[in-house]
Amino acid sequence: MGLIIYLDGQYLEEKDAKVSVFDHGLLYGDGVFEGIRVYSGCIFRLEQHLDRLFSSAKYIMLDIPMSKDELIQATVETVRRNNLRDGYIRLVVTRGKGDLGLAPWKCPKATVFIIASTIKLYPAEFYEKGMEIVTVPTTRNRNEALNARAKTLNYLNNILAKIEAKNAGVEEALMLDASGFVAECTGDNIFLLRQGVMLTPPTYLGALKGITRDSIIELARKEGIEVVEQPFTRFDVYEADECFLTGTAAEAIPVVKVDGRVIGDGKPGAITWKLIERYRAITAVDGVKID
């Protein structure tokens, strides 16, 4: 038996879980989503993810046809039906079925589906030894055009940057905003450490307000590390003592080289490792249990 998918109130086998070719999520990327982790039977920070889902939906004026409690129940049940103890959840709300025009008001009801499976973004050795990234020509969308605080289905901006990274021989891209400030990577937030101070770009530059990002910031402050959200350029990245990325799918991963410049001593830093360990310690206890 394949995966069991939640789709508009039903739990269906993967082969039977289908959406219309007229769904505006497919036709126009009109919808919102969340990527959520499961660790040892705990859905990590599920309520925070759902809060962000509803905020994203409000931004694009999309009515989610389920309450937060109903989404929690559906997510937990989807995980249970797939016997998943550790893995990845993709919760998607599209505008729903409409016509071939753009008008969202011609889509009478949103489509909701939930996939509970697994994901692996990077090789294991990247987590142990660190990874290399490059800055790419594609800049982050301007917030005036599409605010990065909304986690929408329209990811073409990130995909183009990902292609450029792959063409350069690496797995991840550093994206700048239109003014040349560091925004984020294609699917991850970025952090620097310089003389014991941790820097990360503010969300108004086009960075997603990541759930993992917020978790790392909280953990750093508990460790007494000063965290500053402020604009910075690639110069600051190059002279950093440590660098790492965070994201639900990527978790937390060290970066040891950017644009050919070695970061620090070329190895994952001590503070990076400490925060990764602290993060791993909370993942199985901070969230909604499926048992």
> What span, in angstroms and rounded, lies between the C-alpha atoms of 146 and 124?
34
> What span, in angstroms and rounded, lies between the C-alpha atoms of 163 and 91?
25
3-state secondary structure of 222: helix
The residue annotated as part of the active site, out of 151, 222, 257, 267, is 151
**Contacts for 143 with CB less than 8 Å, ≥ 6 apart:** 149, 204, 206
Which tokens in the block code for residue 279? 């993060």
289 an active-site residue?
A: no
Backbone angles phi, psi at 53, to 5 degrees: -60, -45
Backbone angles phi, psi at 266, to 5 degrees: 85, 10
- Residue 174 near residue 133, CB atoms below 8 Å: yes
- Residues that are catalytic: 151
